[in-house]
Every structure is written in structure tokens, then in C-alpha cells.
Structure 1
């Protein structure tokens, strides 16, 4: 379980005046200031949850991930993962954590992914039999049995991402942190990643913390959504509980031919049952197009961002 109690983190930065005079003054009298990245955050994540973590740039998402993985220490408050403070960097906890950053690779460009996996097995001191069993399991689930033998430079982006996932999960971590795991991937490859992560969560009860700007990631995976803004938690609930006030309901736009294709009509229908009944009135060749309009998760999240920004300007 992940427990966060009154967690705050401040980045230490400094300011200086421009020009030579400012540079000289900065050498002897540097003016430091604390910039808050997280403010009094309280949060509990149960084992086995898949949690989506989103927010605009500068919201504190990456800072929170770094705190949960022990890369940085809290300025104030407390954070524990499996009952251990990540900042202590105890081996007992590090063995239970897997991390993958979509824009940063742990693979060696000129070596096959198999070499990196073998190295990680040595670092985590995995038993040879269990390592081979886990490797075969991941290769089957991610369809990488052949590509892990090729130099990484010869792999496509999607193939590299699947190898990165294998590296993050080879030691069977209980907690997996993913930052933009599907960035730049085509829709088919994204679906393969989604299926794999859902299987990993179901089979091993792996807790997954997913940071992404891709709303499809959240819709496909997240059982719970956290929205950060300016270091504060402004939403914590299921996707279905997002405040859908932008439009009241989805609508279906049906465009079809009448007669000898001289008359084109368009009709907006809100009830799916009525839509199916209407379509049965026409031959297949009479239907020109069918599209769905209405509120989307992306619309709602954007609206929340805008509302929060307006609130901060008023303060």
C-alpha cells in the first residue's frame, strides 16, 4: 500500500540580475528561494490498483513519482510504499519497484535487449530458473521473443517500448510506475500495451501508477484518476465520476440518401435504440455516414484544468 501524509516538496532555486554586475553579485550573494511543487498532499493507494495521474505541465506529477521511487526526499510530510520510506532506498523496497519513462531508455542502443535483461537479472540477483521462467512469460505476453535478440537501434519505437516494459517488470515488482508509456505509438501497439498491463495487474496484482497526457491510456487502464494542479490534488475518484457538465448526453449523427441519391438528409438521434430502428429503415447503400458526438473524457479534463486556472487567477 502507498500512504502519503501531508506531503510537500519545494525546489530550491535562485534568481539573479542580468548583465555582468548581476553575475558578479550572484557569485558572492546568491539569492535562493523555495518553489513549491507539492503542497500538503494526502493520499492512499491500495495494492492492486491501476491509478491514472494527470495534470498540466508543472502540476507536480513527475515530482510525486520521484518521491514515490526514492529519487528525491520530501521537504515535509511522510510517504511510504509497502510500509517503507522510499527515500531510505532500502533494497527490500527497491526490489519491489519498477519504473519506465517513455522518453528515457534503459536499453543500450547498440546491444540487444536480451543483454540488458541479463544485466538486470544479475543486479536483482534473480534465481536463474525463475529468471528464465519470467523472461519466457514476458516474451510471450509482449510478443518480443525474437526482437530481444536484435540490436536496439534496429527496433521500431513500439518494439522498444515493449522491451522497456519487459525490463521494468523482469524482477516482478509489486509497484510499477509508468510515465508516458505509449508516447508516439500507433493505435494497434497501444492496444497491445493496454492488454499486457491489464493482464499483469490481474495475474500478479501489480499496483500501476500511470502518468500520461494520452486520454486513451486513462480510459483503457485507469480504475481511479488523480488530477494534480499547482501541487494540489483537485480530483480523486473513478473516471465515471468526472463532472460531465459540458454536454448532457452523447448524440449520433446519421447521414443518408433518399430516393435516387438526389436528396441527402442528416438526423441527430440521442437514443441508441431509436438509432438502430432508424437504420433498419434503410438499405446499407443508403447510409452515407454515422458519427458520434458529445462529451469526452478529454473535454472534461480540459474543462477542469481551465476552471482550476481561473480559480487560481482569482486568488
Structure 2
């Protein structure tokens, strides 16, 4: 269980006045995992205070930041996984079983043996997930886990996280600006704006149809590159079906546009406060 009471954190710099600016999603993740300690209020994860760095808590949490890596650039990911097994003092048979499970589910059996510098962003992110979960934590904190990833890789990560949750009842706390992350994974949604919680409820209470929030513009050649066609597609699954009908050289470009779910909710609640 995660307990939060009047939690706040103030940033102090030489370039601005004290106070938390922005939504505060990454800051909240850092507070929940004990990376930083609150200015006021309290937080507990599994009945323990994150800032105390108790070994009991550290064994129960896994963390992955989409823009920061725990992998060594010149070494294969399996070396980092072996190191983490030693840090967490995992029993060899338990570690090997968990490693096989994660490699199979994430489709990284061969990838983990390749130096990280030679991997694509999507491959690295799947290895990062394996590192965050190798010790079988009860809580997994993900900060922008799909940032910069293509649609197919995002789908692989969604499927993996749902499987991990189903098999091990892992509680997954995810922060994201990506509407697809929310649609694919979230059972309960919290929206932060300027450090304040403005929405906390189930997805079906959200005053927005998030499955219609994004659109994809697909341009492609037909008739032996004699004609260029353009289609606007709203459903990612329809997009995948459409793209499977083409050869790679037929696809000219694929772009995504949409609305920020945070901006929409903020405007709705701002009207209520006026």
C-alpha cells in the first residue's frame, strides 16, 4: 500500500523563487522511491518511509526512468543483470529462473548478450525493464517509459507490463504524457498540474474519450510509386493492419498528432473553479 499525506517538495535554485513548478510527476516518483525527501508531509510505501533507504523497502521496489539508464554503455546488459543479482543477494537458481522468464517475455534472449551501445532505443528500454524487475519487486515505478519509442515497441512494453502484473501481482505506478500509455495500462488515473492533484478516479470517470485523442497520418506510394496517398487513422490497431498490407518501401512517412490529456483536464477543472 502507498500512503501519502499532505506531501510537498520545494525546489530551491539561484534562477527562480522557491517552489515546485511543472506537473511534478517525476518529482513524485523520486519521493515515492526515496531518491529525494519531502519538504513537508509524509509518504509510506509498504508501510515504510522511502527516504530511510531501508533494505526491506529497496528489495520491494523497482524503478525505471525513461531518460536515464542503469546500463553500462560498453557492456552487455547481462553484465548489469549479474551485478544486480549480486547486489540484491539473489540465490543463483532463483536469479537464473527470473532471468529466463524476463528474457522470454521481453524477447531479449540474444539482446542481453550484445553491448548496450549497439542496441536500439527500444531494445535498451526492454533491457532496462529487466533490470528493474530482476529482483521481483512488489512495486514498479516507471517514469515516461515509452518516451521516444515507436508504436510497435510501445505495444510490446504494454503487453509485457500487463503480463507481469497478472503473473506476479506487481503494482505498477507509471507517469506519462503519452495517452496510449494511459489507455493501455491504467486502471486508476491521477492527473497532476503545477504540483496539484486535479483528478483521481477510475478511467471511466474521465471526462474525455482518450481512445480518440490521437490520430496518425500515414503517407504511402501506390501504383509503382506513381501516386501518393494520405490517410488519417485514429485506431492504432487499424494502423497496424493497414501497414501490414504495404512493403516497407511503399511507406513514405508516419506522423502522430493529438491533444494533451493533461491540458484538457486542466481546462475542465479550471472552469469549475472560476
1:9 maps to 9
Instruction: Structure 1: state its 5+ residue gaps.
Output: 17-32, 38-57, 247-296
1:116 aligned residue (59, 62, 80)? 80
Q: For 1:237-261, what per-residue CA distance to the aligned partner results, in whole angstroms no more than 9, with x for missing partners? A: 1121112499xxxxxxxxxxxxxxx
Residue 9 of structure 1: CA displacement?
1.7
Q: Work out whether 1:158 is the aligned partner of 2:119.
A: no
1:169 maps to 133
Partners of 1:242 and 1:221 lie apart in 2 by 15
Residue 12 of structure 1: CA displacement?
2.4
Q: Which protein shows a greater Rg?
A: 1
1:149 maps to 113
Matched ranges for 1:241-260 at <5 A: 241-244=205-208
TM-score by length of 2: 0.78
Q: How many residues align?
A: 228
1:131 aligned residue (88, 95, 105)? 95
Matched ranges for 1:71-220 at <5 A: 71-220=35-184
1:302 maps to 263
Higher RCO (CA < 8 A, seq sep 6+): 1
Partners of 2:128 and 2:260 lie apart in 1 by 31
Partners of 1:34 and 1:155 lie apart in 2 by 41
Residue 170 of structure 1: CA displacement?
0.3
Residue 309 of structure 1: CA displacement?
6.1
Q: Output the aligned Cα RMSD.
A: 2.3
TM-score by length of 1: 0.68
Q: Match of 1:233, SS?
A: strand
Matched ranges for 1:250-289 at <5 A: none
Q: Which has more strand, going by share of residues?
A: 1
Q: Match of 1:226, SS?
A: strand
